[in-house]
């Protein structure tokens, strides 16, 4: 397996998605063996089992035109020309390793391009899902009050933001690309985790104006941190999501000065539609200031954007992926900028999201698939 990877013929989930797309586009048939190792009973999933499977596969695949892909959950996928004898050998090798009934339920054979959708769904299922809500999330229905905000703000005074800062690469990825190119790095504060860590017992979303104040406070903390010379030196192209009020704060003015003209043109600042609509005049002022300074501005939309980008005078649309997007069809398309290079699909964690993005001409993505492996940073 290591040898296969070294030979450039193996790959990860992203490469497999690329292969599926290719097969669909070209119509060249392929046969795919999905080894659902993640489904095996825990006693068959220990390290040495995995190694045994790999060792069984290697001699079979080395001389062939088959390709091996490993998925984040430990599943393996072998793709080969149809009726390749190698797949039969792989199957046989596996049956010698595993109890018969287990091996059969752990194996799925799919044909491309006919069963592309099923394979993409399998890839998506293999992507380890992140936790829906952090453990100890606030109980539902508890109202976020000014008193609770006061406690949170006090607790925040003694906490470093670094542990709650998430770095998310935003990548250019075109259908057929070998690997994604990082365009800029999104810096986000994980508000729910921060709330839990600070013992918030209610969700700030239940009091929109208090949440706005909290966001402003966090913006300023973050900007002050980023404006420190050693931080600023390290900072490459960066994406931030800030409240409109923060764009005229003293902290922002210091940050933008430290960035310099060259840093500003590489930076993308996302704005929330509720901030824009709450104070349209302040938004227009902040927008014109930021644009005059060279920043690119983005609208953060969690579905079809409520406002057309050009009317807002913004550069990018950051569209949050949800499985509902494809269903919106033409009504969504009408609200997307014609130049799809101006759209970023965020939260594109699965193959389905990226596939949909490509169909819509979108090539900028942020999502779990594109993050470096390892603990979420």
Residues found near another protein in the complex (CB under 8 A): 145-147, 149-151, 153-154, 156-157, 205-210, 212-213, 216-217, 220, 245, 248-250, 253, 257, 272-278, 280-281, 283-285, 288-289, 292, 302-304, 306-308, 311-312
- Residue 100 three-state SS: helix
C-beta of 97 vs 253, nearer to another protein: 253
289 versus 356: smaller Cβ distance to another protein:
289
CB-CB contact of 323 with 350 (8 Å): no
Distance in Å, CB of 212 to another protein, minimum:
5
| Shortest CB 41 distance to another protein, Å | 43
Least distance from another protein to the Cβ atom of residue 305, Å: 9
Q: Nearest distance from residue 302's CB to another protein, in Å?
A: 7
Nearer to another protein, 1 or 223 (CB): 223
CB of 336 closer than 8 Å to CB of 364: no
Q: Where are the alpha helices (DSSP H) in the chain?
A: 2-6, 13-26, 47-61, 85-97, 100-105, 116-126, 146-156, 191-197, 208-226, 229-234, 250-266, 273-278, 280-292, 309-312, 325-333, 351-359
Measured CA to CA in angstroms, residue 224 lies from 130, 139, 320, 365 at distances of: 30, 32, 28, 28
Cβ at position 237, least distance to another protein in Å = 22
Nearer to another protein, 47 or 158 (CB): 158
Tell whether omega for the bond before 113 is within 30 degrees of 0, i.e. cis. Answer: yes
Q: Which is nearer to another protein, 16 or 272 (CB)?
A: 272
- Name which of 293 and 371 has its Cβ closer to another protein: 293
C-beta atoms surrounding 26 within 10 Å? 10
Distance separating alpha carbons of residues 208 and 215, to the nearest angstrom: 10
Contacts of 116 (CB under 8 A, 6+ apart): 20, 23, 24
Q: What's the start-to-end Cα distance of the chain, in Å?
A: 28
Q: Which is nearer to another protein, 147 or 377 (CB)?
A: 147
Please work out, in degrees rounded to the nearest 5, the angle formed at the alpha carbon of residue 16 by the alpha carbons of 10 and 21.
Answer: 135
Q: Tell me the closest approach of the beta carbon of residue 256 to another protein, in angstroms.
A: 8
Tokens of 358: 């490509």
CB of 205 to another protein, least distance (A): 7
């Amino acid at each position: 397996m290591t040898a296969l990877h070294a030979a450039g013929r193996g790959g990860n989930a992203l490469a497999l998605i690329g292969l599926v797309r290719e097969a669909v586009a070209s119509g060249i048939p392929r046969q795919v063996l999905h080894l659902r190792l993640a489904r095996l009973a825990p006693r068959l999933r220990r390290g040495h089992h995995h190694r045994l499977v790999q060792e069984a596969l290697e001699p079979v695949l080395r001389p062939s035109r088959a390709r091996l892909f490993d998925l984040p959950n430990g599943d393996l996928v072998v793709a080969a020309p149809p009726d390749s004898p190698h797949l039969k050998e792989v199957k046989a090798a596996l049956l010698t390793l595993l109890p018969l009934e287990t091996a059969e339920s752990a194996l799925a054979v799919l044909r491309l391009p006919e069963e592309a959708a099923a394979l993409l769904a399998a890839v998506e299922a293999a992507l380890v899902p992140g936790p829906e809500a952090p453990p100890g999330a606030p109980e539902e229905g508890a109202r976020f009050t000014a008193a609770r905000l006061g406690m949170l703000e006090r607790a925040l005074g003694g906490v470093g933001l670094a542990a709650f800062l998430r770095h998310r690469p935003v990548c250019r990825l075109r259908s057929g690309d070998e690997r994604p190119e990082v365009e800029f790095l999104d810096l986000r504060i994980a508000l729910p985790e921060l709330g839990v860590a600070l013992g918030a017992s209610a969700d700030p979303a239940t009091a929109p104006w208090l949440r706005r104040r909290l966001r402003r406070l966090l913006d300023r903390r973050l900007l002050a941190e980023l404006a420190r010379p050693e931080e600023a030196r390290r900072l490459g192209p960066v994406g931030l999501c800030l409240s409109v009020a923060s764009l005229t704060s003293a902290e922002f003015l210091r940050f933008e000065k430290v960035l310099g003209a060259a840093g500003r043109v590489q930076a993308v600042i996302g704005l929330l539609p509720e901030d824009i609509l709450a104070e349209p005049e302040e938004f227009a002022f902040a927008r014109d200031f930021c644009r005059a300074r060279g920043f690119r501005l983005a609208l953060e939309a969690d579905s079809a954007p409520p406002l057309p980008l050009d009317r807002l005078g913004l550069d990018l649309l950051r569209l949050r992926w949800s499985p509902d997007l494809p269903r919106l069809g033409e009504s969504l398309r009408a609200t997307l900028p014609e130049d799809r290079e101006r759209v970023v699909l965020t939260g594109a964690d699965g193959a389905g999201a990226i596939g949909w993005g490509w169909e819509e001409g979108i090539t900028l993505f942020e999502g779990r698939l594109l993050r470096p492996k390892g603990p979420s940073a």
